[in-house]
Structure 1
Amino acid sequence: MTSPELPGWRHVYSGKVRDLYVPSAATPGSADRMLVVASDRVSAFDHVLEPGIPGKGVLLTTLSLWWFDQLAGGDGGRGIPNHLAATAVLGDDDEPHSLVPDAVAGRAMVVRSLDMLPVECVVRGYLTGSGWSEYQAQGTVCGIPLPAGLGDGDRLPEPLFTPAYKAPMGEHDENISFEQTVELVGRERAEELRATSLEIYARAAATAERHGLILADTKFEFGLDAKGVLTLADEVLTSDSSRYWDAAAWQSGTTPAERMASFDKQIVRDWLAAHWDKQGTPPALPADIIERTAARYQELLERLTGI
């Protein structure tokens, strides 16, 4: 993975998809704002794959910004605090100057620095993926008992909050119970994380439904601002962090594949699962998989936002 050099910013971290920068003049730990750049990299099964998805970074950033605006009260609900900061400053000429370098325009967000919480807040509204595998074996999802007789792709009786511990870089995240979340962040904060995550999911699922989509599951990350306010951070409700399905296909489909017509990277996951044993370096993605994935990302953005 390579990250571009950007004027006015210093690279400090690269995740599987995003690159993080702080102002060039900032000393360690002193930056009050950061630049989050979404690359075209795509990951699956904890590996970054080659090649990337052209235009993916712009699509993810555009969708995140749209959802941040919706959740700030644009959908009629209460405003959920988020980490977005001003993208321009006044220069000596009293004219606004963009903080986003031209090289990453459209794929970058200027954000406030937060004290990030070590919990990935997953909400599942439908039974699929790793949850379906666990349910088949034990009748549970992340240790939570479920009624018998559910099928792959079925709607759950109610959305489930299934947190994960965000492991240090290079290690795998680990599903944890709510009580383990309490041990990490305290009971009051854990209950706030659960309530806020379920609220955001419910609002987003309702929005998706109005656009003929199902939000099957998603994950959120939160941090605390300087006043200790719980603040939504990172990406939100994108094709990388969520499973979106076509509602009409789900209602009429008779097999899991027909029901779960997805607008996310499930195309990549399915191809990789069929062509790789998860040992060694993953194979390169074929051109048709890249094209189909890019098209589904674009279609999701258009259906939700009209952009």
Structure 2
Amino acid sequence: MATLKEVGGYKLGNLIIEGKTKQVYDVPTSPGNCILVSKDRITAGDGVKSHQLVGKSVISNKTNAKVFEILNKIGLKTAFIKSVADNAFLSRKCEMIPIEWVTRRLATGSFLRRHPGVKEGYRFTPVKHETFFKDDANHDPQWSEEQIISAEFKVNGVVIGKHEVDLMTKTSILVFEILEKVWQTRDCALIDMKIEFGVDEQGVLLVADIIDSDSWRLWPSGDKRLMVDKQVYRNLTTVTDKDLDTVKRNFEWIADQLDHLIPPNNHLVVIVMGSPADKDHCDKIKRYCEELGLNVEIRVASAHKTTDFALEIVSFYEGLCIPIIFIAVAGRSNGLGPVLSGNTDFPVINCPPGSRDDLSRDIWSSLNVPSGLGCSTVMYPETAAICAATNIALSNYIVWSRLRLKRLGYFESIPKADKIVRN
């Protein structure tokens, strides 16, 4: 593949590195970034098996872009910026960590060879996580956590220690679980996958490189006989043009499935306040909800003073035929939450406003509800948003992923704070 001069309107600088299936170029007009250009090449067995596959670069780039757009929408830290051509994308320039991070849901492939006696299809709960040192000459040997830490890789000024290894482990598992839920919406089982990490010039650890059909095993309807991933190519003892056409059609099918993902956005959190005086409290709930990817509307209705209007609001939202969560904001004698709960089968969360002194006195009207009602009560706006999100997350992988990312954020930030305090 010849050295390129321009891609997608970007003038290219030096060729930074060339691999079996891609080239990486510097971009002088976009400091800190680079462009990855995919090749029409498919390989297996550390490059021992290799064939030209016309069109693969375009399919790979399309698949990669769809995957990273999902990860970026959730808020995960990735190197991917945007596609700039059919076969190329703009990325943060990273120094790569020479480790492949593999997550498995079912036992198959190399795992069975390394663990004789384990039956194919053994289900890992939680998922199985493994790491491999990138070394083609030695067939990418498996490494332990201790080996990675002991190697003391220094990547763009960052020494890869235990915290970094733990963070990459948790992140790679999160990426797998997110994409597992994505593929479930297409009745396709994600069996295992690998990802890589890099560190950008600011020292930020990022999910990097490419995630495409070379990166995973996919079994439609969970049936290995229907596999559509690169394993089809790996299994070939001889490779004909017809075989390559089959592999290409499989890759095209995968890209097409990602194209037909329906964004899971059909839900609504309705915050109903008993008085306009509670708007600041409701605005806080709304802000926390939106940070978790929730759609929110705020309404005003008093269960005591405008009971019919409150019930009209409930009836209107029930008629939308989408998942609804009601958050009732009413202080003093809270009739709003119980009245809503008594007239809908959607979840109702009470989140009374006011100072802590008021809450200690007024909260009993939210807690001590009549029998037969199922509304819950929380005290803080963020808690109300999280409770709403956990309900929506049952059928929405974006919201579920943001909740998981929130937990990952704690793991990343608290040890950093601890280190600052200790120093």
TM-score class normalised by the smaller sequence: 0.7 to 0.9
**2:217 matched to 1:243?**
yes
Q: 1:170 to 1:32 in 2, by over 3 A?
A: farther
Structure with more contact order per residue of length (Cα contacts < 8 Å, sep ≥ 6) = 1
Query: 2:106·2:191 contact (CA, 8 Å) conserved in 1?
Result: yes
1:145-193: CA deviation from partner (whole Å, max 9, x where unpaired): xxxxx422332232111011123x7653221112222223210001001
Which amino acid is 1:204 matched to? L
Normalised by the length of structure 1, the TM-score is 0.74
Residue in 1 that maps onto 2:139: 172
1:187-214: CA deviation from partner (whole Å, max 9, x where unpaired): 0001001111111111111111111111
- Of the three residues 124, 128, 149, the one matched with 1:182 is 149
Matches of 2:51 and 2:120 in 1, distance apart? 30
Query: Equivalent residue of 1:163, what SS?
Result: strand
Matches of 1:86 and 1:303 in 2, distance apart? 20
1:270-299: CA deviation from partner (whole Å, max 9, x where unpaired): 113xx4xxxxxxxxx311110100011111
Q: 1:170 to 1:22 in 2, by over 3 A?
A: farther
Note the C-alpha offset of 1:260.
Answer: 4.2
Residue in 2 that maps onto 1:294: 248
Matches of 2:27 and 2:48 in 1, distance apart? 27
Query: 1:42·1:48 contact (CA, 8 Å) conserved in 2?
Result: no
- Of the three residues 87, 112, 123, the one matched with 1:107 is 87
- Of the three residues 257, 264, 275, the one matched with 2:229 is 264
Matches within 5 A, 1:140-159: 150-159=118-127
**2:116 matched to 1:133?**
no
Query: Equivalent residue of 1:58, what SS?
Result: helix
Residue in 2 that maps onto 1:227: 202
Note the C-alpha offset of 1:129.
Answer: 0.7
Matches of 1:24 and 1:17 in 2, distance apart? 23
Give runs of ≥4 in structure 1 deviating > 3 Å.
Answer: 23-26, 48-51, 169-172
Higher-Rg member (1/2): 2
Matches of 1:45 and 1:195 in 2, distance apart? 28
Matches of 2:95 and 2:17 in 1, distance apart? 16
Query: 1:16·1:48 contact (CA, 8 Å) conserved in 2?
Result: no
Query: Equivalent residue of 2:52, what SS?
Result: coil
Note the C-alpha offset of 1:79.
Answer: 1.0
Note the C-alpha offset of 1:125.
Answer: 1.2
Residue in 2 that maps onto 1:47: 47
**2:99 matched to 1:119?**
yes
Matches within 5 A, 1:19-98: 19-23=23-27, 32-47=32-47, 49-73=49-73, 78-85=74-81
Note the C-alpha offset of 1:226.
Answer: 3.2
Query: 2:191·2:217 contact (CA, 8 Å) conserved in 1?
Result: yes
* 5+ long unaligned stretches in structure 1: 88-99, 140-149, 251-258, 276-284
Query: 1:41·1:48 contact (CA, 8 Å) conserved in 2?
Result: no
Note the C-alpha offset of 1:225.
Answer: 2.4
1:73-94: CA deviation from partner (whole Å, max 9, x where unpaired): 3xxxx4111112466xxxxxxx
Q: 1:175 to 1:217 in 2, by over 3 A?
A: same
Matches of 2:81 and 2:59 in 1, distance apart? 20
Query: 1:153·1:260 contact (CA, 8 Å) conserved in 2?
Result: no
Q: 1:84 to 1:52 in 2, by over 3 A?
A: same
Matches of 1:170 and 1:17 in 2, distance apart? 17
* 5+ long unaligned stretches in structure 2: 152-159, 262-423
Which amino acid is 1:190 matched to? V
- Of the three residues 13, 18, 21, the one matched with 1:17 is 21
**2:199 matched to 1:203?**
no
